[in-house]
Structure 1
Amino acid sequence: MREKIEIGIREAIPTDAKALLNCLEKTALQTGFMTMGEEGSGLTVEEESRYIAKLYDSPNNCLIVALLDDKIIGMASIHASDKPKINHIGELGIVVDKEYWGFKIGTELLEEVLRWAEDSETINRIELKVQQRNERAIHLYEKYGFELEGVMQRGVRDDGEFLPVCMMSKLI
């Protein structure tokens, strides 16, 4: 068992933009589990800041950050469309700096984003895609009621190898 660390969890704010992009780009290089790689996000700090600011006006999108002191070490998001026929479906994404794996940060982020979704008056279905080889993440999602809906063969390519991706969902 690892030592316990105290983290803070809160909604992202526009001034987090640079730290968020840094965290994303760092974690993208730590494993092959993310769809982003060394190419980075392609976003400027200003673009990310504007995106975060728009989230406050959205009833079906959120971005939560995990902080150790003032450093962003993880994040969770729900992203949904503004189209009326599908605005009830949120896509979940979670990322934690590998240096902090084993501290239950992913669990805390998932719990917080699920609370947000349950309080939302719009979201009633959460979907996610996770590489089949990411057994830790799949176990976490199943523990919180996500169910496997299908497996996309050749759902992602990492280092030239095609890998299967699980499609999971949870009804709220």
Structure 2
Amino acid sequence: MKTEKLEIIIREAIPSDAKDILEFSEQTGAETDFLVYGPEGLELSEAFEAMYLEGLIEKENAIMLVATIDNEELIGIASVGSNDKPKTQHVGEVGITVAKDFWGYGLGTALMEEVEIWAKESGIIRRLELTVHADNERAIALYEKMGYQREGVLSRAMFINDAFADGVMMSLLID
């Protein structure tokens, strides 16, 4: 049996990644119901996404990371969004998406580890939080493995396939 080795690179997203990120959102939106978007993806223009990424580079409390194979094919994204308001600028909302072909290989763990390292090094982020579909057992197991705590359930947080689904609020405190 021959095994193929792939070089996976995790790096900060840059404006020239905009087109790939939007295409990735359409691909992954079609692969799972656990994302907040479907096959329509993020529904943003490439110019808007590039401008957004340019703005992220300047922020000290927000980031988008991309995981690529050989710095070409986009296979995962992790992001932390935050605002600049003094009372809440320490809170980062985490989002993570991995292409279905790469589920179960540790890519989600690697992306979450990079997010945590970045948060600690930011000097600003003291709380990472997320909301996950209550039936997404794989994601919940990943977040719990990373030290995230369940904080509550949001009833009817999502409406998918003509049915309501709950969301689980989770957080990780950065000390």
Is the Cα contact below 8 Å between 2:29 and 2:40 reproduced in 1?
no
Question: Hey, what's the Cα distance between the residues in 2 that align with 1:38 and 1:17?
Answer: 17
Amino acid at match of 1:124: R
Deviates more, 1:23-32 or 1:34-43: 34-43
Letter in 1 for 2:97: V
* Residue 4 (structure 1) shift: 5.9
Scaled by the length of structure 1, the TM-score of the pair is 0.96
Identity %: 47
CA RMSD of aligned residues (A): 1.3
Deviations 1:6-51 (A, max 9, x none): 3111000110000011111110111100011133312111110011
1: CA distance, partners of 2:29 / 2:5: 25
Specify the alignment match of 1:108 in structure 2: 110
Whole-angstrom CA distance in 1 between matches of 2:172 and 2:28: 25
Map Cα deviations across residues 58-100 of structure 1 (whole Å, 9 max, x no partner).
Answer: 0100000000121111100000011111111000000001011
- The corresponding residue for 2:36 is 35
1:135-155, Cα deviation, whole Å (9 max, x unpaired): 011011001110000011111
Moved over 4 A (4+): none
Aligned residues: 171
- Is 1:137 equivalent to 2:139 in the alignment? yes
AA in 1 matched with 2:24: C
| In 2, Cα distance between equivalents of 1:167 and 1:133 | 13
Distance of 2:41 and 2:79 partners within structure 1: 18
Q: Which runs of 5+ in 1 are unaligned?
A: none
